[in-house]
Amino acid sequence: MFETERIVEFGMCDSAGVLFFAKIFELSHSAYEEFILRSDLRNNYFENDELVIPIVSATSNFNKPITLHEVLKINIVVSKIGNSSFQLTTIFLDEVDKAKATVTTTHVFVDKKEFNKTEIPDEFLNLLKKNQQ
């Protein structure tokens, strides 16, 4: 499991001071980027000439309101691994570790030229397995 934190900024909230629903995906993707960048991967998968990893599905569930300037603990767990795809579950927790929201994303490795599915590279697969549920 990967752990990080984010603070809810003013521009992320609606006029009631509650996180605008779509911003949860920005927070999730920001934490995902940190997860990849802080790993020990030799290859840069965000700027790869041969492979890309688009998100093909994204869902969210809110349990409690997320409010302005709240510090969120974020846990990313690899919830599923396939031959060419993987699923991440990102859990947003409050200060007492109660889940406030969950985002689930499915990512698939494809070759950049033809956009055909391709197997997950071994080094990336190892990272996923280390963070599997």
- 49 is known as an active-site residue: no
Sign of torsion over alpha carbons 20, 25, 30, 31: positive
Catalytic residue among 14, 40, 97, 111: 14
3-state secondary structure of 122: helix
Query: pLDDT, tens digit, for every residue of 98-112?
Result: 999 999 999 999 999
Distance (Å) of CA 43 to CA 32, 37, 65, 82, 132: 16, 10, 38, 20, 20
CATH of the domain at 85: 3.10.129.10
Domain count, the chain: 1
Distance between CA atoms of 56 and 73, rounded to whole angstroms? 25
| Domain span holding position 101 | 2-130
Query: pLDDT, tens digit, for every residue of 1-55?
Result: 999 999 999 999 999 999 999 999 999 999 999 999 999 899 888 888 899 999 9
**Hey, what are 6's tokens?**
């984010």
